[in-house]
Structure 1
Amino acid sequence: MNWRMREVVLTVILSIVCGIIYLGWSTLSIPISALFGPVGSEWMFGIWVIASPLVAYIIRKPGAALIAEVAAAAVEVLTGSQFGLSSFFVGIFQGIGSELAFALFRYKRFTLIPLVISGILGAFGSTIYDVIANGFGYYSVKLLLTILGLRVLSGAILGGYLAKILADTLCKTGALQAYAIMKERYYGQDQRDAKKHSSSSRL
């Protein structure tokens, strides 16, 4: 499926914005982790995966979630992330997880449920990377399950759900008129209106 130039440009813009947000969020997580312990900042996780569901919800094409997350992670690294290249590598794992959510629905559903699942699978992806990078011995079972549980919850809310809110808000401004998210709304509404008209004509 071919991408149009405006879709590429929007993906780049949103990825840059998300990458900068990731950098600020990472900086904020350090004092919170210091104050509340190793899992003290895990509730923040969802923001680090928001690029995937946000861009995929708007563009609605295969690869959008993965590309957006990897690009945002690259921006985070290039703008001075204290986590270095690990931010980029974890972004790849998160992007793959988030992309899988839309693939499961064959890229035909872009409702709240796939967006939430995208955030959840992004959480799984990041956790897989952490286990690979740190080794299984680094975690106790309780610690690993606690981290995963908090990430999944945060990914669902601050990742998938918040992405939908942000995109829907942008739609109301008229800024996304040329993108698939708005076309689906118009065509979907036209089809529903046609069905209603057809049903009423039979009465």
Structure 2
Amino acid sequence: MNWKMKEIVLTVILSVACGVIYLGWSTLWIPVSALVGPVGAGFMFGIWVIASPIVAYIIRKPGAAFIAEVAAAAVELLTGSHFGLTALLVGVFQGIGSEIAFALFRYKHYNLFTLMLSGALAAIVGMVYNILANGFGFYTTGVFLTTLGIHIISGIILGGWLAKVVVDALAKTGVLESYELMKEKRNKDDIHGNISGM
């Protein structure tokens, strides 16, 4: 599928915005992690993958989720994340995980379940990066499973569910009228209207 210029522009704008949010979230992670420990701070994970479902939900094209996450991670890196290059590298893995969720349904379903699955798979594939970067001996079995579980739950809620809330709120303002999200909503409304009128 070819991307329209307006879709590219919106993806860039949203990715930059999410990247800045990621940077702020990374800064907040430091004191939170000091208070509750790195494992406990895992509840913050979902925000770091929200770019993927937000952009994919609006644009609805193959590659949208991956591109958005990598771009947002790049912005986080370039704006001074204390995670350094890791911010970008883990973003690549998270983007792959998120993209898989939409690919599983052949890019035809963009409902709440798919968005939440996107957050969950971003957490799982992101953890693959952590294992590759830190080695298998970095985690005990209990710490690994606890961290993974917290990341998955956070990815589902702060990644997938929150992304839908944000985009639906934006849609109500009318700024997304010319994008695939609204075209599909209008088609559904037309179908429901025709059925009701029969």
TM-score (norm 2): 0.99
1:116 alignment counterpart: 116
1:98 alignment counterpart: 98
Give the unaligned 5+ runs of structure 1. 199-203
Spell out the pairing of 1:171-190 with structure 2 (5 A cutoff): 171-190=171-190
- Provide the C-alpha distance between the structure 1 equivalents of 2:173 and 2:71, rounded to a whole number of angstroms: 25
- After superposition, the CA RMSD in angstroms is 0.7
1:164 alignment counterpart: 164
TM-score (norm 1): 0.96
- Provide the C-alpha distance between the structure 2 equivalents of 1:126 and 1:111, rounded to a whole number of angstroms: 23
Spell out the pairing of 1:49-60 with structure 2 (5 A cutoff): 49-60=49-60
1:201 alignment counterpart: none
1:130 alignment counterpart: 130
Displacement, 1:79? 0.2
Q: 3-state SS of the aligned residue for 1:175?
A: coil
Q: Which amino acid aligns with 2:22?
A: Y
How far does the alpha carbon of each residue in 1:28-53 deviate from its partner, in whole angstroms, 9 at most, with x for none? 00111112122121000000000000
Q: 3-state SS of the aligned residue for 1:13?
A: helix
2:31 alignment counterpart: 31
- Provide the C-alpha distance between the structure 2 equivalents of 1:100 and 1:33, rounded to a whole number of angstroms: 30
- Provide the C-alpha distance between the structure 1 equivalents of 2:55 and 2:18, rounded to a whole number of angstroms: 10
- Rg comparison, structure with higher value: 1
Q: 3-state SS of the aligned residue for 1:38?
A: helix
Give the unaligned 5+ runs of structure 2. none
- For these two proteins, the number of residue pairs brought into alignment is 198
How far does the alpha carbon of each residue in 1:3-24 deviate from its partner, in whole angstroms, 9 at most, with x for none? 0000000000000000000000
Q: 3-state SS of the aligned residue for 1:41?
A: helix
- Provide the C-alpha distance between the structure 2 equivalents of 1:118 and 1:64, rounded to a whole number of angstroms: 12
